[in-house]
Amino acid sequence: MAILVNWFEVTFDRKDITLPFLACASWTESTVILKQYPDAQIVRERQDTGEIRLYFVAGQPSGEHFTASVAFVGAPAISARVIEYNLGKHFEKLGARVTLSHNWGIDATREVQKFSSIGLAIHQGINAKYFSLSEPTWQHGITLNWITPPLFTLPVSALPATQCYDGFPVKLKWPSEIGICPKEIESFNNHYLGTIIESANDGRYMVSVRDQSKQFVDGRALYLETKTDVLVEMEKALTTDTRISIQRLILQLSHSLKPDGRRNPGILRDQLASALKVLDPSGRGQVGISLNENAKGKMWINCFATGVQRS
């Protein structure tokens, strides 16, 4: 018997779900279809016949489509999307800021510190990621991590003009109100774009894009990456009476340091305790979540460390 300290079992009130799906002949063709539904939650599965199915966990396919019953056992990709998507919806209803990544689970955080003059907000909360066990029987579960992400909420164009941003790494978030994103950079939208070379003095910045090109980009679409050296530089733009070490504050919020600044030897224990408090604030030991969209029913998360028999 092995005790998995950071693994919490997820169970469902049924063995399978019925989902709408689209079918196509190849993975390349399915990629084209996938791009047509940017707001849907879709899982691609290759069938024994070679057919590719795109199962809609959330959202509906347009036109002619099919439905199929999918068992939770043996379908980890679908189970993962159902659990992470519905867990995210659960936290959204509670007022958390939720981001869903198909590779890294969900982040559910709340703002705890804000520096308005430099457009920086520090959040804290959890990252929850699906993780399954298949011995001796299939079990679904999640792992929890305590996170304290800093986020720039203002574009470069709205940041203090006294600060020079040459050499700063930036993310592209193109706002629809300023028109259509240029084709040269649209593939980087909502992702890391590159490094600012210099200001063009017309509201635009020359950026060394990570595809090795150089582009002039509207400052309203550029957001600073929250790297440690960027935070250190941005501290200088704070007024003297509010100037603090942002990085030290993040370390304290992450339990790496104690409130008095000393190293915290119980960091992993304290991080897991804080993450569990976010997941189960009542301390009842189990959280029930009704499933949204196409996955009907309910799931429960066991909030106690789990014992698993290993062969």
Mean pLDDT score, 220-239: 91
Instruction: List pLDDT tens digits, range 79-120.
Output: 999 999 999 999 999 999 999 988 899 999 999 999 998 999
pLDDT at 241 over 60: no
The yes-or-no verdict on residue 78 having pLDDT over 50 is: yes
Domains of the chain: 14-74 (no CATH), 77-151+247-282 (no CATH), 156-225 (2.30.30.140)
In single-letter form, the type of residue at position 290 comes to: S
Calculate the alpha carbon distances from 159 to 91, 220, 222, 238 in Å: 31, 10, 11, 11
Indicate the average pLDDT of the chain: 92
Average pLDDT estimate for 27-33: 94
Of 1-5, 205-209, 240-244, least confident by mean pLDDT is 240-244
Task: Report the first-to-last Cα separation within the chain, whole angstroms.
Answer: 9
pLDDT at residue number 311:
45
CA distances from 1 to 260, 305, 306, 308 (A): 40, 12, 10, 6
- Average pLDDT of the segment spanning 202-214: 95
Res. 284 pLDDT band, cuts 50 70 90: very high
Q: What is the pLDDT of residue 240?
A: 57
Q: What is the mean pLDDT of residues 246-267?
A: 93
Q: How confident is the model at residue 237 (pLDDT cuts 50, 70, 90)?
A: confident
For residue 162, the model assigns a pLDDT of 87
Question: Which of 252, 269, 249, 255 shows the shortest CA–CA distance to 144?
Answer: 269
- Residue 243's pLDDT band, with cuts at 50, 70 and 90, is low
* Most distant pair of Cα atoms in the chain: their distance: 67
The predicted model gives 120-142 an average pLDDT of 90
167 conformational bin, left if phi > 0, alpha if psi -120 to 50, beta if neither? left
Write down the pTM of the prediction.
0.89
pLDDT value of position 102: 82
What are the Cα distances from residue 145, in Å, to 15, 142, 273, 287? 28, 10, 10, 17
Share of the chain above pLDDT 70, in %: 96
Whether residue 218 is predicted with pLDDT greater than 90 in this model: the reply is yes
Which of 10-19, 206-215, 235-244 shows the lowest per-residue confidence on average (mean pLDDT)?
235-244
pLDDT band for position 259 (cuts 50, 70, 90) = confident
Q: pLDDT tens digit string along 135-193?
A: 667 899 999 999 999 999 999 999 998 889 999 999 999 999 999 999 999 999 999 99
| Residue 209 parent element (H or E) | strand 204-209
